Amino acid sequence: MQNILSLPPIWYTFAILSVLTLFGALGTIMSKNPVHSVIYLIVTFFSISAHYILLNAQFLAAVNIIVYAGAIMVLFLFVIMFLNMKQESDEMKNNKLITTAVITALLLGGILIIFLRRAEKQKVDVTSFSSQTGMVEVLGKSLYGEYLLPFELVSVLFLVAMAGAVMLAKREAGERHF
Amino acid sequence: MSSFVQWLTESMFLWKALIIIVIFAITLGIAAYSTWAERKVAAYIQDRRGPNRAGWGGLLQPLADAGKMFFKEDFIPAQADKWLFILGPCLSMFTALMSSAVVPFGNSFIIGGKEVFVQAIEINIGILYVFGVVSLGVYGVMIGGWASNNKFSLLGAIRAASQNISYELAMGMSIIAILMMSGTLSVREIVLQQHGGNWNIFYQPLGFLIFTVCAFAECNRTPFDLPECETELVGGYHTEYSSMKLGFYLFAEYINMFASSAVTACLFFGGYNYPGMDFVETQLISALGANVGHNVATLIGIGSMFTKILFGIFFFMWVRWTVPRFRYDQLMNLGWKGLIPLAVANLVITAGAILSGYKLVGIWAGLGLMIVLISVGWSLRPKKKNAIMGA
């Protein structure tokens, strides 16, 4: 008991946020209604952003909220609202499917646990740690200095994906107008 | 216990709490009186008198409206998703109130030898914070519209979602041009750099135009109020809402107007800066002493900031009662084919001007060149044989 009380406040924050993250993640896969799933997923993204702030990555937290919670999840919700989800899916009545899914999930979980146990644990040296790590200025300098080539390659990849999406969505001659 | 009291008095905590509460109260007050001002402006533009029964010049009208809202029946449709139906207006109000947290309303007060910024939180990702909150604003409308279980509400919600996503892109790109010039994401730093009449509006006329249009679209204000277009969708996303839940949706719109006017004032009109502020401050300091003089000068700065904000709100109303509503395909065409290419062109021009070393001349020359190129291209465009109107 004494141990729990003497923990620094950041540990309490971490514990509360972790509970919230797991609550959102479990709600995402366990709720029957897909719209509720999306809303739980948004809760998860928010708590992950809060974890980023705890890890001194303000920029990542803001971008995570803008891109994932603000744009991608709006699109998810948008598509799900258009679909009529009234009928029950019969996937959960298929025994073969359930068995395969359970085995795959257990295997994946086992692999994750093995890797976590063997992972190299790096301790941050408190005395030499720069408080600016993860702030916008430092991140920008390393992205556009040290990692310029990979960064530009990723941008080209995005451009290709965007052009591909436009090509797929393009209306061809003779196709009907909606 | 005594160490806690000492910490309270010595730290910024109490001052920050006071500033946050005052900003919160002023936001709500201005939003409440915006509803009165909206009717008065509408009345003036349409040559009527407007509300003039409750109080002097109708000044008690917001109170009367709030009283009416509270005493109406709070109705939840039978087939609605009850919790999400309640969550919708709460989220709208919550996100609307969050966005003014990083706005610097004034410079700083010197109290007991310490400098207290007139700003709720000063973070180095200020603009990204505003942008994140704005992008979340659509959830209240979407969730409320879907949970009502009504065709018109759902259509309104979907319109709101696609409109917000489309206009966020152009808005983000017009802000990036500002960020390239200032080199910082902190709103306070951006305002400080506009000191001495160096307002961003002179450097970014096109960026300001794009930002304003996008702000109108993000606030769901006319001419972009398609999500609540009553001629097509009954009441849009709030068709099924009544009582104070409806009140929250309507009120959130006025708070959003206040917040976006505040952000526009900070980004483009120098925030709390005003012409001749250095002269005023030196005169005040020599007359009243260093601390009191600085504080009085800050108060005048806050006054200048609120003048700009109130003019911004007036501009929102002015446009609402002047410009008719767009059609939905026109809205999408303007967003994707008009504003986004313009915002990209603005980015390129700004970057070129910064590299050339002559910012002001470079940007205006670049914009002039762009207009010439567009008009030449427009006159040389190939004529379509079977051109369809309005496409």
pLDDT tens sequence across B357-386: 888 888 888 888 888 888 888 888 877 655
pLDDT in tens, B129-147: 888 888 888 888 888 888 8
Three-state DSSP at B116 gives strand
Structure tokens, B155: 């259509």
Nearest CA in chain B to A58: B125
Q: What average pLDDT does this structure show over A145-158?
A: 92
Q: What average pLDDT does this structure show over A147-156?
A: 92
What CA–CA distance (Å, rounded) separates B27 from B256?
A: 10
Contacting residues of B for A63, CB less than 8 Å apart:
128
Higher pLDDT, B225 or A112: A112
Which residues of chain B are at the A interface, by a Cβ-Cβ cutoff of 8 Å?
81, 84, 123-125, 128-129, 131-132, 135-136, 138-139, 142-143, 146, 154, 157-158, 161-162, 164-165, 168, 185
Contacting residues of B for A59, CB less than 8 Å apart:
125, 128
Q: How many CA atoms lie within 13 A of B48 on its CB side?
A: 11
In degrees and rounded to multiples of 5, residue B115 shows phi and psi of -95, 120
Radius of gyration of chain A (CA): 22
**If you count residue pairs, one on A and one on B, with CB atoms under 8 Å apart, how many are there?**
62
B168-177, B187-196, B224-233, B353-362: least confident range: B224-233
Contact assessment for residue B85 and residue A35, using Cβ atoms and an 8 Å cutoff: no
Contact assessment for residue B145 and residue B88, using Cβ atoms and an 8 Å cutoff: yes
Answer yes or no: do B165 and A35 touch at CB < 8 A. Answer: no
Answer yes or no: do A42 and B143 touch at CB < 8 A. Answer: no
Three-state DSSP at A122 gives coil
Q: Which of A69, A75, A136 sits opposite B165 (nearest CB)?
A: A75
Q: How far is A84 from chain B (nearest CA, A)?
A: 12
Q: What average pLDDT does this structure show over B81-91?
A: 87
Higher pLDDT, B99 or B384: B99
**pLDDT at residue B324 greater than cutoff 80:** yes
Sign of the C-alpha dihedral, residues B138, B191, B342, A160? Answer: negative
Mutate to test the interface with A, among B165, B187, B237, B329 (most CBs of A within 10 A): B165
Answer yes or no: do A62 and B129 touch at CB < 8 A. Answer: yes
Contacting residues of B for A77, CB less than 8 Å apart:
139, 142, 146, 161
Query: CA end-to-end span of chain A, whole Å?
Result: 65
Query: CA end-to-end span of chain B, whole Å?
Result: 72
Contact assessment for residue B290 and residue B121, using Cβ atoms and an 8 Å cutoff: no
Q: How far is B161 from chain A (nearest CA, A)?
A: 7
Contact assessment for residue B211 and residue B267, using Cβ atoms and an 8 Å cutoff: yes
Q: Which residues contact A49 (CB under 8 A, 6 or more apart)?
A: A61, A62, A64, A65, A69
Answer yes or no: do A78 and B139 touch at CB < 8 A. Answer: no
Answer yes or no: do A66 and B135 touch at CB < 8 A. Answer: yes
- Annotate A148-161 with b (16+ C-beta within 10 A) or e (fewer): eeeeeeeeeeeeee
Q: How far is B227 from chain A (nearest CA, A)?
A: 14
What CA–CA distance (Å, rounded) separates B225 from B51?
A: 24
Q: How confident is the model at residue A92 (pLDDT cuts 50, 70, 90)?
A: low
Q: What is the pLDDT of residue B124?
A: 81
Nearest CA in chain B to A57: B125
Residue that has been written with the tokens 């708590």 in this structure: A47
Answer yes or no: do B162 and A66 touch at CB < 8 A. Answer: no
What CA–CA distance (Å, rounded) separates B194 from B267?
A: 9
Q: What is the pLDDT of residue B56?
A: 83
Q: What is the pLDDT of residue B141?
A: 87
Report angle CA B247, B56, B257 to the nearest 5 degrees. 35
What CA–CA distance (Å, rounded) separates B232 from B230?
A: 5
Contacting residues of A for B138, CB less than 8 Å apart:
74
- Annotate B192-216 with b (16+ C-beta within 10 A) or e (fewer): bbbeeeebbeebbebbbebbbbbbb
What CA–CA distance (Å, rounded) separates B109 from B116?
A: 5
Q: What average pLDDT does this structure show over B71-81?
A: 83
Answer yes or no: do B158 and A78 touch at CB < 8 A. Answer: yes
* B332, B334, B338, B339: CA torsion to nearest 10: -90
Amino acid symbol at A19: V
Mutate to test the interface with A, among B125, B152, B163, B184 (most CBs of A within 10 A): B125
Which residues of chain A are at the B interface, by a Cβ-Cβ cutoff of 8 Å?
33, 35-36, 39, 42, 58-59, 62-63, 65-66, 69-71, 74-75, 77-78, 81-82, 135-136
What is this structure's pTM? 0.85
Closest CA to A41 of A21, A57, A58: A21
Q: How far is A62 from chain B (nearest CA, A)?
A: 6
Higher pLDDT, B235 or B350: B350
Q: What average pLDDT does this structure show over B201-227?
A: 87
Q: What average pLDDT does this structure show over B298-304?
A: 87
Answer yes or no: do B165 and A82 touch at CB < 8 A. Answer: no
Q: What is the ipTM of this complex?
A: 0.78
Q: How far is B8 from chain A (nearest CA, A)?
A: 18
Mutate to test the interface with A, among B83, B121, B138 (most CBs of A within 10 A): B138
**Highest mean pLDDT range out of B62-66, B104-108, B305-309?**
B305-309
Distance of CA B169 to the CA centre of its chain: 16
Structure tokens, A171: 């209306």
Answer yes or no: do B132 and A70 touch at CB < 8 A. Answer: yes
Contacting residues of A for B130, CB less than 8 Å apart:
none
Q: What is the pLDDT of residue B375?
A: 87
SS3 content of chain A, % helix, strand, coil (to 5): 75, 0, 25
Q: How confident is the model at residue A132 (pLDDT cuts 50, 70, 90)?
A: confident
What CA–CA distance (Å, rounded) separates B35 from B46?
A: 17
What CA–CA distance (Å, rounded) separates A146 from A140?
A: 10
Q: Which of B84, B123, B135 sits opposite A58 (nearest CB)?
A: B123
Mutate to test the interface with B, among A66, A80, A133, A135 (most CBs of B within 10 A): A66
Contacting residues of A for B351, CB less than 8 Å apart:
none
Answer yes or no: do B129 and A39 touch at CB < 8 A. Answer: no
Q: What is the mean pLDDT of chain B?
A: 84
Answer yes or no: do A66 and B164 touch at CB < 8 A. Answer: no
Q: What is the pLDDT of residue A107?
A: 95
